[in-house]
Amino acid sequence: MSTFIQILSGFAVVFQPLNFLMTLLGFVIGLFFAIIPGLTATVAIVLLMPMTYSMTMNMGLCMVMGIYMAGMYSGSITAITINIPGAPSSSMTGKDGYPLMQQGLGAKAIGQSAFASLIGGTVGVLLLILVSPIAVKAALLVKTPGKASLVIFAFVSICALDGKAWKKSMLFVIFGMIFSTIGMGILNPTSRFTFGTVSLMEGVDFISVVIGAFAISEVMLQSDLSNREYEEMSARVKDIKIKRRDFIPTKADLKEVGWLTYLKSSIIGFFIGVLPGGGGSLASFVSYAEGKRSSKHPEKYGNGALQGVAAADSANNSVCGGALVPMLAFGIPGDGVTAVVLGVLMVYGIVPGPDIMTRQLQLVSPMYAALLVSALILIPLSLMLFGPYYIKIVQINRIVLYSAIALIAVTGAYAATSSVFQMLTSVIVGVMVYFMRKEKYPPVTLILGAMLGPLFEQYFRRSLSISGNNYAIFLQPDSLAFLVLTLVFVLLLTRVQKKGVTAK
């Protein structure tokens, strides 16, 4: 059976009533989980895994793909409306989405986010179907030193993006990395910074850091506002008349963002997804950085640029397609969600390997189709059905809203880890980030450090181990390419920022 026919048969499977219902159900569950801070698509899939045992393979995989795509998209909703990303991959969306919300353009930001997610998700799946064999070869070219350099590129670019505050951003990256060093060693089974304490042996969970950095610190920052200030903000939102059509991006919006931004961000997202360990957060960071670098108005980024929202969301949804490539071809998950998806595949006895993308395509083609269907129903389902209610969040009684968020957040740390210690960690991180955010330390970089720190350490030390501590290993073509890219990026950004200052 040709590849094309096998893919088409996947669509036929997805459109069978029960399978389609499961895709929809998964999408709604993913949407719900990603909106609630502390709960992510990963947690949703983990908790729903036992349910998939009683389903057919196609039903289970369709539901999981629905959760995955919705989880990537809907984390942006709370990032835009209340500046608390529902999922780590939506951190960058909040950078511009929340300022847009504050300007009374929340509907536009949510609409743009959904549209970009639709484009990204669709492009990601099409690329997965069309160029996955080539992508597999390209990913194979990036060896361990190259991956270490890619992480350096992510660190440097995101800090450089903060302009004058780059030192604060870098310090937060360092703290994120420090969190990731607590517990068991990366390469050797020895404990680090545990002081003989059993609780510290389990390390600092990434979810705890995210909840502390975004949810708890945000709730506390909101406590600084008096009711009067909040009522003024609510009044501004109250005045906005929201119709479903307000979510649909206008021609002017699409022109402002530019088709190239959607396409470029989707391609960046896909290829970062292909790189093992890349994931949605890195994709949105890099895509946002590239969007700002190539933008005619980089000064708008961080202050409510639609292009920023589009760049971040196109990329993180495109990751869904890309991340499946290493997972299916090598059994290496592209991110946390695909790691759990891999577990679901194992339940059905699917063993990942190069064959699965060629000779056994019929086993996984319903996954491709479900992912594409999920991307294509994002706008009609989430936007047209629930869209008008998202923006209402800020009109809810702030005391009730933030008390509920505080309880959900701190409970979420426990729900994701089953550990009281991780709950405590999230509160401690929340206290720290609360004070640092008052001095304009960007919490996104803390998350970047915590997430990519272990990967960097692993790749960096492995590279040194392979080369016998010869640092020249980082001058290999793949690694050198990322290092040069980092340098070019910093130089270009510095030039752009200088131009901006001169222009002012």
Partner 1 sequence: MNLRRFLHRSVLIPLVCMVFLIGYLGVGLSMGPLILPSGLTNENFIPVIISIIGILLCISIMKDSLKEMDDEEPVKEAEPKFGLKQIILFADFFLFIGLYSLVGFIPAAFVFTLIFMVFFDDKVRGLLKKLIISIIITAVVYILYAVVFGVRFN
Which has the closest alpha carbon to 216: 434, 498, 373?
A: 434
108 vs 398, which CB is nearer to partner 1?
Answer: 398
Q: Is 406 in the site for partner 1 (CB under 8 A)?
A: yes
414 contributes a contact to partner 1 by CB under 8 A = yes
Interaction of residue 197 with partner 1, rule CB under 8 A: no
Q: Does 480 bind partner 1 (CB under 8 A)?
A: no
- Residue 492 makes CB contacts below 8 A (sequence gap 6+) with 293
Q: Where do we find the tokens 């210690």? A: 421
- Our finding on whether 190 is near partner 1 (CB under 8 A) is yes
Regarding 399 and contact with partner 1 (CB under 8 A), the answer is yes
Residue 156 binds to partner 1 (criterion: CB under 8 A):
no
Size of the residue set binding partner 1 (CB under 8 A): 61
Among 143, 168, 236, 300, binds partner 1 (CB under 8 A): 168
- Extract the tokens encoding 308: 């920023």
Residues within window 35-94 making contact with partner 1, judged by CB under 8 A: 39, 43, 47
Q: According to the binding rule CB under 8 A, does residue 383 interact with partner 1?
A: no
CB atoms within 10 A of CB 140: 11
3-state secondary structure of 296: coil
The answer to whether 175 contacts partner 1 (rule: CB under 8 A) is: yes
Burial class, 189, CB count within 10 angstroms (exposed 0-12 / middle 13-18 / buried 19+)? exposed
In whole angstroms, the minimum distance from the beta carbon of 148 to partner 1 comes to: 11
Smaller CB distance to partner 1: residue 107 or 216? Answer: 216
**223 vs 250, beta carbon nearer partner 1:** 223
Structure tokens at 282: 């890195």
**Pair of tokens at residue 407:** 């309880």
232 binds partner 1 (CB under 8 A): no
Integer Cα distance of 456 and 148 in angstroms: 5
CB atoms within 10 A of CB 208: 30
d(CA 177, CA 253) in angstroms, rounded, equals: 38
- With respect to partner 1, which residue has the nearer C-beta, 5 or 184? 184
Q: Which among 275-283, 300-308, 327-335, 453-461 is the span making contact with partner 1, rule CB under 8 A?
A: 453-461
204 binds partner 1 (CB under 8 A): no
Contacts of 388 (CB under 8 A, 6+ apart): 242, 243, 244, 247
**Contacting range for partner 1; rule: CB under 8 A; set: 2-10, 79-87, 267-275, 426-434:** 426-434
Q: Quick one: residue 303, left, alpha or beta (phi over 0 = left, psi -120 to 50 = alpha)?
A: alpha
**CA angle (144 as vertex; 142, 149 as ends), nearest 5:** 80
Told to check if 501 binds partner 1 by CB under 8 A, we report no
- Residue pair 416/39 in contact (Cβ under 8 Å)? The answer is yes
Would you count residue 25 as binding partner 1 (CB under 8 A)?
no
8 A C-beta contact, residue 433 and residue 447? no
In which region does residue 2 sit, left (phi positive, over 0), alpha (psi from -120 to 50) or beta (all else)?
A: beta
Q: Is 477 in the site for partner 1 (CB under 8 A)?
A: no
- Candidates 1, 18, 137, 193: give the one binding partner 1 (CB under 8 A): 193
Residues that bind partner 1 (CB under 8 A): 39, 43, 47, 167-168, 170-171, 174-175, 177-178, 181, 185-188, 190, 192-193, 216, 220-221, 223-227, 398-400, 402-404, 406-408, 410-411, 414-415, 418, 420, 423-424, 427, 430-431, 434-436, 438-439, 441, 456-457, 460-461, 464-465, 468-469
